[in-house]
Structure 1
Amino acid sequence: MRRTLTLILFVGFASIFVLGNGSPALAQSKKASEKAETKEGGEKDADESDVSEPSVTHGTVKIDGKDVAYTATAGKMVMKDDGGEEKAHVFYVAYSLDDADASKRPVTYCFNGGPGSSSVWLHLGMLGPRRIKLNDDAKPIRPPHELIANEFSLLDKTDLVFIDPVSTGFSRPAKGQNKNQFHGYDEDLRSIGKFIHDYTTKFGRWASPKFLLGESYGGLRAAGLSGELQNRYHMYLNGIVLVSAVVDFQTLRAAGNNDIAYTLFLPSFSATAWYHDALPEHLQSQTVEKVVEEAEQFAKGPYMQALLAGDSLPDEQRKLVTARMSELTGLSSDYIDRANLRVNMGQFGKELLRSRRRVIGRFDGRYTGIDSDHVGESAEHDPSASAVFGPFTSAMNQYLRDELEVNEDRVYEILTSKVHPWDYSEFANRFVDASATLRKAMTDNPYLRVYAACGYYDLATPSFAMEHTRDHLGLPAELRSNFEMGFYHAGHMMYVHEPSLIKLRKDLIKFYDAALGDE
């Protein structure tokens, strides 16, 4: 699998499978798959019997020292086109505060990424009233999982709606509908935008302040939705939260002559090497923040200049750059020189701790694992993914059926490949990029605020990549403060690290207050 995919990016442990930049070949592959559509693995489409009254349950959770009583609604929204034809049944779980005026209370629409992920990661890791208990020290937990009250939920500040895109979770195309009409950049924005419109209408939330919260590819989706909702439905947002997100694929994919991605990953390499005590003493004795700052200055200065020079780089300058890069990454000068100054994440993850016979996690560089050999160029697995897949899957299945009282026979698709190939044909011959859409949404609606949360040890969507996206949006000076960032001592899912989860909640409360005009 690793050799056949150009890029696999876990998005809150929802993978981004990029098979090309929206190439004509990909579009043709999609058309061919539409003609040969089958129900994979015996999975059936949704039909009328799937849509019943949603399950409504009630609970209480203590947040910030106060008891918060809430109503949980878990069900399927029937999505229809303008002609009334059923297109899909979209599963969601919504939490609303009891005894509150819904028309005035903020509502946040939440989703993970992939493409192909359900919303389980944000739901049971960060935002919902229940969360999985995990270890802060980047060690796997002993099965089975343990669900605990989430005292760091945002439910005291905003109602929450967790959306599972079509083919994920329990969401399925309506009977007779081709699934591929939902599986692409534009198709996804239309279907999720339609769900948000329909939910907002059905539950009387048009007067509510509205937020989007997306993780990883969910960040690209949120940026795209800022335009889809504004242009199609004239629905203006108050805020967007980007958790370990990507908005511009050029910042992540070091393909061809796109050297910018190498520079944007380097500070995360430095942070991860620092965490594993793999840097020289003069750097190891500093804080991770200071190390990252030095790495960023080097990345956007001497390192970028060296990559721009290409084959014309003088030997003496090459030696200086190689030596400094070795200091900042923990890799040997010889390895960096043989890599022609261009080390990708897969190589770094295999090489950094090779002498210790360990590989490091992609989604969280704090995690380490063991491969069958220690001579290859890339790791066989991601130990940070291995540590969370089992707990989140078992917890979600139990929680849905036991506490939310959802009666459903289908498999709850935590993360599925059935959405692929994903159609990026709009971006033929260029990188997938929603930054222009986000910029226009922010300039059309100057009250729209954005918060990007980034983990220092995230080697899937590095923090410097999001900084680059922010600094290249082209916002006028008076709106630049509308885009804020926060940094956390964990990886892609920074909320699995409780100290980071605590900080993230505090930062988001301040962000919501600012977006609502309450501060």
Structure 2
Amino acid sequence: MHTIFKAGIAALTMIALHTPPVYGDSHNPTEKNDSDIESHSASAIAAPREFVTEHSGTFNGAKLRYRARAGETYLRDEEGKPSAAIFSFDYVAISDGKDRPVTFVWNGGPGSASLWLHMGTFGPKRVVVPSGAGHAGAPPFPLVASSETILDVTDLVFIDPVGTGYSRALGEHDGKEFWGLKEDAESISAFIRRWLSDNQRWNSPKFLLGESYGTTRAALVADILENEHSVALNGIVFISQALDYAGSTPYVADNLISHITYVPTMAATAYYHQRVDARGASLEEWVQQARDFAVDELLPALFKGNTLDADTRARVRDELARLTGLSPEYVEQANLRVRGTRFAKELLRDEGKIVGSLDARYLGDPVDDLTARADFDAASNAISGAYTAALMSYMQSDLAVVWERPYLSPADPRLSDEWNWNPKGRDAAWEPHWVNTSHNLVSAMEANPGLRVLVASGYYDLVTPFFDAEYTLNRYGITPDRVDYKYYGGGHMMYVNEEARLSLLSDVRAFLKAQLR
């Protein structure tokens, strides 16, 4: 789903081809071309397929007529032949001028289609799941108007990368040509440039919004757009930031950084499940105690290794236990290095429960209580079925998408194994290191002094911890006034919590408006 795999580069020079849209209304949708297109199809490739409908709605109190286009955009290789079809869901205001802002939205993985952000909060309709971390149950799942979304201030384009959703490689091209750190970013930047041309929107304010690996992608795409193609951006929204993977890889034993970045999230989780004596502190105050301890005491202690004196070790051990709700004995056995993946299983082990990784508010009941780490993610299990069913139903009922092609969510099963994490190219020599696109973000921000970033994080995210976002973006020379941090009472997809969803939308809307001023 949103698993944070780790990535690398290569890249064709790609130019997108897209047939200008033909429009219909929601009762008489226009569909282009009935031919299906798959990888390694015949040399005669049919025109891009699209489904266009018109709608109206009220968003943040503003009435809006908008056109929805669900369809393909073709990328082309150096010989001008179609190399891939990227499918997107475009929501564009009707008769609102060519300078209206447009926000390009994607999820992560790599290998995730855009359905989470699309159906969770930013699309014009959304699926309703229990806000209090309960299981969504069985269908039917409520599908309601998302009247709080940001369509009042920006058009929205939800992008499914190659190998996800309906997006596929074409002709003689193979999916792995697009499955890599740089390859993926090149294809998405090519799509954006083609979309701007097809829709005559080059002078529109432009925003990127990514979640999880989608933030890794967003930093790279911003660098490519700003420095290789002179496409100026107005802002970037990072949801559940993952730029430098050192701080979000807790399952590597000798990764010192993740033992620090995960402490505040573990403390927040223990606070939520009432496994600590917070002594009257608020969640924010408790989390700040964990931040201070992690940097001022735990980091120096871990750095000293076996030269740490016994008294200091005991003090650090006991404080780590106090903040995280774990026993001093467990922390001692862990050698002061509590892995986030093991914490999910250990915190409530005495109750026979595990906490979710994507959202630690969720609880699971494993069959085997003795394993060191959870065998499944309780949060993913609780909501995945609802999101998938909602998107498929919404496509058929509202967007008039009728297509025999499978919608890949999860992605093409080859994608994970064939993903190229080498930043120098699939066949180049490379000494492996942590994936880190922070430098790409810095490069984009150097090229564009007006570019600012909003970072949205969930307190209970055990996949991309919020303290890692702070650690990452605070150390690259980016001035504090160019980065806004916002925190929510949820996890990786904080918007499943209704209060967090409303706050997230309000914060993103305010960020966009501020950048437009």
| TM-score of the two chains, using structure 2 as the length reference | 0.90
User: SS of the counterpart of 1:272?
Assistant: helix
1:406 to 401, 421, 427: 401
Cα pair 1:118 1:165 within 8 Å, conserved: yes
Quote the residue 1:5 is aligned against. none
Q: After the TM superposition, which of the residue ranges 47-56 and 177-186 deviates more from structure 2?
A: 47-56
Aligned: 1:270 with 2:270 = no
Deviation at 1:429, TM superposition (A): 2.2
Quote the residue 1:85 is aligned against. 81
Task: After superposition, give the CA deviation of every residue in 1:62-115 in whole Å (9 maximum; x if it has no partner).
Answer: 2223322211011100111243111001111100112200x2100001000101
1:384-399 equivalences under 5 Å are 384-399=379-394
Cα pair 1:61 1:150 within 8 Å, conserved: no
1:225-244 equivalences under 5 Å are 225-244=221-240
Task: After superposition, give the CA deviation of every residue in 1:314-365 in whole Å (9 maximum; x if it has no partner).
Answer: 1111100000000000000000000011111221010100111100000000
Letter in 2 for 1:396: L
Quote the residue 1:116 is aligned against. 111
Quote the residue 2:282 is aligned against. 287
1:151-170 equivalences under 5 Å are 151-170=147-166
Aligned: 1:202 with 2:169 = no
Aligned: 1:328 with 2:320 = no
Cα pair 1:131 1:148 within 8 Å, conserved: yes
Cα pair 1:46 1:172 within 8 Å, conserved: no
Task: After superposition, give the CA deviation of every residue in 1:141-175 in whole Å (9 maximum; x if it has no partner).
Answer: 23211110001211111000011000100000002
Cα pair 1:46 1:89 within 8 Å, conserved: no
User: SS of the counterpart of 2:56?
Assistant: strand
Relative distance call for 1:435 and 1:46 in structure 2 (3 A) is farther
Aligned: 1:223 with 2:211 = no
Report the Cα distance in structure 1 between the residues aligned to 2:197 and 2:62, rounded to whole angstroms.
Answer: 31
Quote the residue 1:459 is aligned against. 462
Report the Cα distance in structure 2 between the residues aligned to 1:372 and 1:49, rounded to whole angstroms.
Answer: 50
Aligned: 1:296 with 2:300 = no
Q: Can you give the 5+ residue segments of structure 2 that lack an aligned partner in the other structure?
A: 11-36, 424-429
Quote the residue 2:496 is aligned against. 496
Aligned-residue sequence identity (percent) comes to 37
| TM-score of the two chains, using structure 1 as the length reference | 0.89
Cα pair 1:152 1:501 within 8 Å, conserved: no
Letter in 2 for 1:16: I
Quote the residue 2:15 is aligned against. none
Letter in 2 for 1:347: R
1:190 to 186, 189, 196: 186
Relative distance call for 1:333 and 1:262 in structure 2 (3 A) is same
Cα pair 1:461 1:492 within 8 Å, conserved: yes
Aligned: 1:61 with 2:57 = yes
Cα pair 2:39 2:175 within 8 Å, conserved: no
Deviation at 1:43, TM superposition (A): 7.2
Q: After the TM superposition, which of the residue ranges 429-438 and 407-416 deviates more from structure 2?
A: 407-416
Letter in 2 for 1:236: A
Cα pair 1:56 1:72 within 8 Å, conserved: yes
User: SS of the counterpart of 2:152?
Assistant: coil
Relative distance call for 1:45 and 1:452 in structure 2 (3 A) is farther
Quote the residue 2:28 is aligned against. none
Quote the residue 1:138 is aligned against. 133
User: SS of the counterpart of 2:259?
Assistant: helix
Letter in 2 for 1:277: Q
Letter in 2 for 1:14: H
Quote the residue 2:427 is aligned against. none
User: SS of the counterpart of 2:442?
Assistant: helix
Report the Cα distance in structure 1 between the residues aligned to 2:337 and 2:46, rounded to whole angstroms.
Answer: 51
- RMSD across aligned C-alpha pairs, in angstroms? 1.8
Relative distance call for 1:113 and 1:156 in structure 2 (3 A) is same
Letter in 2 for 1:274: Y
Letter in 2 for 1:467: E
Task: After superposition, give the CA deviation of every residue in 1:488-508 in whole Å (9 maximum; x if it has no partner).
Answer: 010000111111111111111
Cα pair 1:361 1:367 within 8 Å, conserved: yes
Deviation at 1:49, TM superposition (A): 6.1
Q: After the TM superposition, which of the residue ranges 392-401 and 320-329 deviates more from structure 2?
A: 392-401
Report the Cα distance in structure 2 between the residues aligned to 1:382 and 1:360, rounded to whole angstroms.
Answer: 8
Deviation at 1:60, TM superposition (A): 2.1
User: SS of the counterpart of 2:262?
Assistant: helix
Letter in 2 for 1:259: L
User: SS of the counterpart of 2:88?
Assistant: strand
User: SS of the counterpart of 2:4?
Assistant: strand
Relative distance call for 1:312 and 1:466 in structure 2 (3 A) is same
Relative distance call for 1:473 and 1:302 in structure 2 (3 A) is same
Quote the residue 1:4 is aligned against. none
